[in-house]
Structure formats: structure tokens, C-alpha cells
Amino acid sequence: MPKINAATVAEHRAQQRAALIRAAVDVLVEQGATAVTPAAVGARAGLARSSFYQYFPSAAALLAAIVEESFTAADAATAQALAEVGEPAARIDAFIRTELRIAAQGAHRPAKALMQAELPAECVARVHELHHQHYAPLQAALVDVTGDSAELTGQLVGGIVQAAMTAVEHGADPDHVADHALALLRNGL
């Protein structure tokens, strides 16, 4: 029987599952989606390949779990940042600053790597759906500020946010980048 390094079997299983996800994220970001195999992920996590299947039925299921967990964490951070903010312009500021803090932590790496991979259409559709849901609070704040519900405004602002995240991911200070991005947006809105 394998050694359990947790207070309960459930906690041990949660730790093992989390280790597999962390290992898969590393493999995904370093080598791409096709390298995320049960053998590679198990080896990176320090688990036998057969142990992989106790947690995920396939590499595709693991990739789906990565996507879901990444967006769940980002959504929680955004919800917390927006919880006390009522004024639309302040919601835009809070959303963008939170996105850049998340980018500085590397949390966008899995989604970015997956978007560059050749994935089945349903996986790509799910990533787009989660992305759209995640950006819904920003879109709502933009509508409140501009009175314009045009999706184009959201796409253009999203482009600025994406460029800001790329700068942060390349080492720029998140607060400095947020200040510049928000100055551009305030002048443009």
C-alpha cells in the first residue's frame, strides 16, 4: 500500500491530484500540449504512470482540469477585488489591476499555452467560453461607463489588457503597467 502523507486519504488524494496538475502545467508551458502525457506528467510529479489514471482518465481530461482550475482561481480573485467596488470606472481599474497581478504570478501561462496548441474544437470552445465569462465584469463596467454595449469596445480594451499582461509576464512591474494601461483607457473612454 502506498505511503499516505496527509491526515486523511481524501487529503492525500487531493495533494496527489494537485501535484499532477502542477506537473502538467509545467510540461504544458515548457513543451506544449502534445507533451502532456500520463508518463511525462507522472514522472514530473514523482508518481507512477499508472497512478495518473487514478486521478484522470486521459491527458485530455487533465488539460480540461487545468483550464477549469485556472479560470476558477482567476474568477475568485476578480470577484474578491470587485466585491467592494461599486463605481464603474473603479471596477475597470480593479479588474485590470487584478488581471495584471494574476499575470505576474504566472497564472495565465496554462491558458496561453493551450490557446497556442492544436486542441479539439470543443476544448477551444470551452476555453473561449470561460474567457468570455471571466471578462464579463469588465464588459459590464465598460457598458456602464460608455453607455455603449458594442462588443468591439470590449475587444479593444481586452487587447490593451492582453498587451499589459504580456509586458508583466516579461518582467515589467504590474503596478507600473497598470498605471499606463489605465491612463490610456481613461483617455480613450
The reported pTM is 0.78
At 33 the pLDDT is 81
Q: What CA–CA distance (Å, rounded) separates 130 from 128? A: 6
- All residue ranges of the chain with pLDDT < 70 are 1-6, 120, 189
Q: What is the DSSP letter of 74?
A: H
Cα-based distances in Å from 77 to 10, 25, 80, 107: 26, 20, 5, 11
Q: What CA–CA distance (Å, rounded) separates 159 from 141? A: 16
At 1 the pLDDT is 42
At 13 the pLDDT is 84
At 147 the pLDDT is 82
The answer to whether the beta carbons of residues 64 and 126 sit under 8 Å apart is: yes
The answer to whether the beta carbons of residues 62 and 121 sit under 8 Å apart is: no
At 2 the pLDDT is 56
Show the DSSP H helices in 83-150 as ranges: 88-104, 109-115, 121-146
Q: Which helix (H) or strand (E) holds 175?
A: helix 174-188
Could you give all domains of the chain from N- to C-terminal order, each with its CATH number?
1-56 (1.10.10.60), 63-188 (1.10.357)
